[in-house]
Structures are given as structure tokens and as C-alpha cells.
Chain A
């Protein structure tokens, strides 16, 4: 029985989002058939989809955000006309681009809160401490102003976040959702790129990640690189073939950003055998991969379109192979080939094992996963199954730290708190350095213990655990919760620490911080 309990911990924490509270019976179920408990979710391909009433498609969201930004721009233009021009507001190169609707992110930039633009233009005050001090210390008795109403972008983001969080909190094991989070981080965008990215952060995951999490890697790769959110995030909607009609007319050209990250981060990995020439060639190949803008000249606003006018004409050589298909097929052919490149199999296998098993995963496991990836032509369900079927994944000690997202979701599950507002989660993620759908760069959030077990991070987790406990410990018995979390796999020390705590609140905070809850 002791061994089964240990396996149950692996099933629940390494592969899933942790045991749910209440009468879920998760721990007993996991203990009686650990592998079956994890794999059950893999048999429900549709279960990975997130179809929630009210969540809209990318084109519908695109149209809404374009219209919203257009209104703001109109209002700004009108205000500028009626007021004398400020000395700083002379036209920059951006202004022209905006008029041509080429530069959505610069429009998003203009949408920054007024306060921020004031801060940027205002002269530094004489006593900077006063300016930076929290408002409450400056005006101790002033009532807090009500928060401004949410705009369409904020509302959408929160609705998407809520749907994802609810799914994670109620899922049986959570393995499928963990896979979604893994792939979503692998192919990350950042909501902070600007209005459209924040608007599309959720729909990107629903449309380009979820349908393929138990499908084929090549299909996910194509869906990702053709998704408006990715094209916007990595600037491809602005990239024009230097010899294309649009490139010549506008005297603009190539942007390598997306092409480089496809090779480096999405498929082959650094050292995967590509050169600078390959980056440039691929950038040429995918010129014209864009999305329709507000006016819908190329298609329904906010949908992926191939703009032949922006496409660099002619054949391109990528990784030693000539691609001479016309139009969008040229890029699709490149993606199909790099999806099954041996470097991709190796890169994905290593990253997959590192995420689930250990910072330095057993080489035998990585090799086997790479072989499965190759033999099944990138079948991601087969990859996930091979991981669960491996002995290494069950034998490796539970030494990885839960990421902030995993930690907060696991807390929500244990305390049976199905959120009806994403605010607490979003704030917690922000404080712990993992803001939802907003990593600092296109390489996504880090996935190592060094990143999440730093002194500052651990102390913050404790503070947040104490906050959660102060809110939710009434009416729960932390000793019972420990049974749900780890049963007889809990260490004597953890059990004693919780039993001897001076209050329910303290006991719950300690449970949430225990190695059994933090490690996976």
C-alpha cells in the first residue's frame, strides 16, 4: 500500500494538477490504478477542447478589438484637432504606418493608460520619493476611487482566463490540462504585446493548441504559425517580401522574428542544424502570412489570410532543400518538413521530459520519447502515453517545484474553490512571476527548479499561502486535507507540523507549503 500511495502522488502531482478536495476520492483512485488514472483523460480527445458559451472565435474577437481601437483612435484624432498640438506630438514614423493600418501594435501602444503617458512626458519631480510613494501614504484618509470599468479587451481576457482556470480546477486528474499548459507555453505568445494579443491569448490556445494536444505535432505547428495571435506577436503581419508588390510600393521588407523563433523555439531548437541563411529564407517563405485587418480587404477581419501581394516571389532554399511551391503552400511545405526533422524530435522529447520528470531527465527516457515522436510522425497522444508508460517517470524522485500556476490551481482544487472571478489567480500569478499568457519573451516561462525555488519566490509563496489560508481555513480540517493530498505518503514531519499548528489557518498555510504539496 505504501508503494501505491507514492505512485498516487506521482499520478496526481507529477502528471496532474493535484488531488481535489471534498468527496472526489482522487487519492484512492490514483493509488489503486496510478497509470490508468492518468491515462483516462487521454482517451477523451474532445475533452481537451474548451467550448464555453460566450467565448468567441479569433475573427469575432479580432473584429471587436479592431473596432474598439479604431474608435479610440477616432476620439483621439478628434481631440487632437480641437486642441492646439502639444510640442511633443509631432508625427513620428509610426503615425503614417498607423494610417495605413499596418501597425496595430503601435496603436495598442497609444492605448496605454493616460497616467502612463503623463509619467513618460512629465519632468522628473524634485523629490522623486514623493512621486513614487504609494498613494495611500500620501493621502492616508482619501477614499479609494472605484476601479475604472473594464474595456472589451480586459473583459475578454478575464473571461478566457476564467474558463481555463475553471477547467483546470474541476478536471479529474488534470493531465490533459497540464499538456495544454505545456504546449501553450512551448508555443507561447505574450498578451502584453498589445491589444490584439491580449484579446486573442485565450482563443489562440483554444484554436491552435487544444485541438492538437492529442493530435499531431505538425498540425499544431501549422495552426500556431498561421494563427493571427502568433503572426501579431512575432511581427509577421508586418513582414513584406522585399521584391513583392507591397514591399516595393511601400519600400518596406522583411522581418525575421517569426521565422527565427519557428526554427529556434518551436521546432528544431538551438543547434538544430539551421543557419542565418535558413532564417532569412524561411522569413521570405512566410511573407504574406498575415491576418485581415479591420476593413476586411483580404478576408473576414481577424482571420488568417495569405496576402500574395506581400509574398516574396520565387523559390527558397531552407535547410538544404528547395521549396518552389507558390503561395501559402511553400511555407506549409517547410513547416511539414521541419516538424518531422530529427532535431525537432530530440528537442521536443527533451523539453517534454524536463517538464514532467526532472530538470535533468534520464537520457534513456528522452531517447525513447524522441523515437516515439519519430516513429509515429509526431503523434502527441503517443508521446504522452509513452511518458506515462515509462518506468523512469514513476521512479524519478518528486524533486521538481510546482510552477506558480500549478501551485495556485492545486490549491484551488484541494479547497474546492471553483472560481467565478479570475482576479485572485491572475494577481497571484503576477506576484509570483508567471503572469497568465504573458511570459517575458517568446521562449516562454522557465521550467527548472532554479527558476521557481529561488529564496524570494519561496517566501512569496508562503505569504500567498497564508493569505489563502486566512480566507479559506474556516470549516476545513487541514488534517483531513493532508489525507486527501498524500494519505500515508505524507511524511511524519509534515503530519506532525500540521497537527501541532496553532490554528487552522496556520495548519492550512503549512500544508500548502509542505514538500508534499510543493514538489511534483
Chain B
């Protein structure tokens, strides 16, 4: 098993590395089919990537309301400032972007990136796991974890050829993409492969004795086959921002191919910044830098397809407006959603800003949500893939007819 220990050297070399915890958990999954889009009419070939940030992103630290008179007091020592060293990057007269995100800032100036602020799912409690379930399942409340909204959206699309260019394998599929529509996954792990003959014999055994495992193995094998000769094996010890970039690069390469999947999801762990969150530099800054790098990898890797791409970055909920006693933030409510991609009608911060006065805070502690995240997702799905409003309200996001798709997010 020498080779196995090679590929897993990261476990040992990162033993003392906090970044391994923060960023090691990164994975990518995509729809296993190539949808039949009517391309002839306008030549568009849309791509959609959903990036889930697990742990609850501090929206007020990512896109800071530096123009709100109450912001600096609430965010205290870790507040961003629009002037001085490490100044936040101005987006408009009111909002500034975290300085660790120069690429997103550039995309924003090029009108290829947008921010939706004071946004939240319909979930109003503060459990990560329930919050993530709501964010990813698309149901109004927790407890429904059989399928995710992106998977149900796929069921509404005309199914084409099976994707054959998937790269390799990774251990799990994010809930958002779990469900009846088959998906494929990839994460940077490298283990020497079993002989094909052994795999075929096992498959035959499973087909007789264990249909569930037969189906799983069959899919796993199809993926592996496509991965032969790939150059995406991770560098030993890759953690942190590098891991985010690496996963994004692999995903972009996969999705850029003519016969590659059009729709995929990534999950990055580690955003639960209870202590020592840091301001312009520090823990969150490193994470945001990794995310920024991942967005840039998509831009580069998708090549000509970037023009028709939308990337949505979302998290389960926000964090407290006021920092806690340990220079961090506890679980909150309203936060930001980021859009990037050539198809985004960008250069805008879309927000019905609730203000940060004590009376305006949700339960006196969190940024009050004024936009339902489902409106954003619906708007993107509608514009990008032409999904009907009714399907969005009934199947993709059940019981959500009151939440109308946000108009004009895609150019």
C-alpha cells in the first residue's frame, strides 16, 4: 500500500494545520447527463455551478455595509474599513468587498459579478445541519433530506447523452445535488485502481445479490474509466486555498468539455468563524481568498463557456451582526449570496437594506433577511435553463409560489 500512503501524505503533513480543517473538505459533483438544450437558436450553452459554503458565511464581513453608520460599531475589531491599510474594495457608495477577493472585485467591475445582500433561506433557527438541509433540499423546513433542489431542477430538463468525461472519484455528493437524477462526483483523492476484471466480477455478484451496491459500483466504475490518464491528482499536502482552487479547476475542466456536464455543485467546509475570525487579514480572509481563487479558476477553466456561465455562492445562514466575546461571530440569519460568471448581469449589489440599528436587527442580533434565497435560485434557474415558474414553485422549491423568481439576474 505504499502508493496509498503517498496520496494521503496530506493527513500527516497537515496534522498541526488548522487550514486542513478549514478547507480540506472540498468536493464537486455534477449531473451525469448532458442536457439537450436548444442551442441552435441563440448559440448559448449555459453552465450553472452552485457553491455551498458550509458553516455559515459572515455576510457582513464579506460584503461590508461600510456606509451603514452602525456597521463599524457592531463588527468591532474585525470590521472592514473603506480606507487605510488593507482597505475593503468599494463596490458602490455603500458596500465594500473584503480585500481578500480581488478577482471577484474585478469581475464585478466588468459587470460579470453581483451580490445579493440581506438574503436568507426560509430557515430561522440556528442549527448548521438543519440550515444546510433547508438550503440544499429546497424545502421550506428541515427534515427533508432525500433530494436536493438542484437535482429536482435537473429532472425538469430534457435528458441527453450520459456524460463520459467525468474525471475521478470522491467520497460524497452534496445534498443539493442528491436525488433521482443521476450524478457523478469528483474530489482530489488518488488511490491505485483495482483491476477491471475484478471490478466486473464484483459487479456481477452485486447484480445478483445487492442491486443497490451494483448500481453504485457501476456508476463509480464509469467515472473511473473516464479518469484514466487525468492530470488532476492532488499534490501531496494540498490544503487550504490551494484545495479550493484545485477542486474548482477540476470541476471547470470537466464542465468546459463539449460533452461535459452543464450543471454541478461544490461544497467548501470551514466557515464557522466563532473565534478569531479576523478582519482584512486572518482566518476568514484566508477562506475568502480561497473562494476568490476558485472563482478565478472557473473563469479560466471554462474558457469560451464562461460567457454563458453562472456561479452561485450560497451558505446556510449568516452570523451575528455584533461580534462575540472572542473576536468572532455566532450563528445568525441574513447574509450574502454571490453571483459570478459571464452570463451574470453584474456590477450590482441587490439589497433591500434593512439597516443595522438595534431595532432593525432580527431578534436584536442578526442582519434581518429581506430577500428569500429561493427567489435568487429561481431567477437563475428560470433565466439560465428556462425552467417554468410553476415547476420551480411546486417541484424544485415545494410550496414556494409566494416567492417569485428574481428578475433580470442573467444578462
Give the complex CA separation of A191 and B17 in angstroms. 10
Contact B127 A119 (CB under 8 A): no
- Given A93-B77, A97-B276, A515-B209, decide whether A195 and B16 contact each other with a Cβ distance below 8 A: yes
- With both beta carbons as reference points, the residue of chain B lying nearest to A263 in the complex is identified as B127
Contact of A116 among B193, B240, B245, B246 (CB under 8 A): B240
Q: Does A137 contact B (CB under 8 A)?
A: yes
- Chain A hits for B239, CB < 8 A: 116
Contact A438 B279 (CB under 8 A): no
Q: Does B236 contact A (CB under 8 A)?
A: yes
Q: Does A395 contact B (CB under 8 A)?
A: no
Which of the 9-residue segments A4-12, A222-230, A455-463 touches chain B?
Answer: A455-463
Contact residues, A501-520 vs B (CB, 8 A): 501-502, 506, 509-510, 513-515, 518-519
Q: Does A328 contact B (CB under 8 A)?
A: no
Q: Does B223 contact A (CB under 8 A)?
A: yes
Which of the 9-residue segments B34-42, B200-208, B305-313, B383-391 touches chain A?
Answer: B200-208
Contact A458 B282 (CB under 8 A): no
Contact residues, A451-498 vs B (CB, 8 A): 451, 453-460, 462-468, 471, 491, 493-494, 497
Q: Does A113 contact B (CB under 8 A)?
A: yes
Q: Does A320 contact B (CB under 8 A)?
A: no
> B197-226, CB under 8 A of A: which get 1 and which 0?
111011011101110110111111101100
Contact B235 A132 (CB under 8 A): yes
- With both beta carbons as reference points, the residue of chain B lying nearest to A424 in the complex is identified as B1
Q: Does B142 contact A (CB under 8 A)?
A: yes
Give the interface centre of A190, A435, A459 by most chain B CB atoms within 10 Å: A459
Contact A513 B202 (CB under 8 A): yes
- Chain A hits for B228, CB < 8 A: none
Contact A113 B237 (CB under 8 A): yes
- Chain B hits for A435, CB < 8 A: 11
Contact A431 B7 (CB under 8 A): yes
Contact A235 B274 (CB under 8 A): yes
- Chain B hits for A109, CB < 8 A: 17-19, 283
Contact of B21 among A133, A193, A279 (CB under 8 A): A193
Contact A493 B325 (CB under 8 A): no
Instruction: Name the distance in Å between A485's Cβ and chain B's nearest Cβ.
Output: 14
Give the interface centre of A90, A454, A468, A502 by most chain B CB atoms within 10 Å: A454
Contact residues, A216-257 vs B (CB, 8 A): 234-235, 238-240, 242, 247, 252-257
A sample of 9 inter-chain contacts (CB < 8 A) reads A93-B278, A192-B18, A235-B275, A255-B325, A256-B274, A276-B126, A431-B8, A441-B128, A515-B205
Chain A contact residues, CB within 8 Å of chain B: 88, 90, 92-94, 97, 103, 105-106, 108-109, 111-113, 115-116, 119-120, 124, 128-129, 132-135, 137, 147-148, 150-151, 153-154, 157, 190-195, 198, 234-235, 238-240, 242, 247, 252-257, 260, 264, 270, 276, 279, 423-424, 426-428, 430-433, 435, 438, 440-441, 443, 449-451, 453-460, 462-468, 471, 491, 493-494, 497, 500-502, 506, 509-510, 513-515, 518-519
5 closest Cβ pairs, A-B complex: A253-B325, A459-B220, A433-B171, A192-B21, A466-B194
A sample of 14 more A-B contacts (CB under 8 A), given A247-B325, A430-B10, A458-B217, is A132-B238, A154-B16, A252-B326, A257-B330, A433-B172, A450-B178, A453-B212, A455-B215, A455-B219, A457-B172, A460-B169, A463-B194, A493-B205, A506-B197
Chain B contact residues, CB within 8 Å of chain A: 1, 3-5, 7-21, 24-25, 54-55, 77-78, 85, 125-130, 142, 169-173, 178, 184-187, 189, 191-195, 197-199, 201-202, 204-206, 208-210, 212-213, 215-221, 223-224, 231, 233-242, 245-246, 249, 269, 272, 274-276, 278-279, 281-283, 286, 289, 293, 296-297, 300, 324-328, 330-331, 363
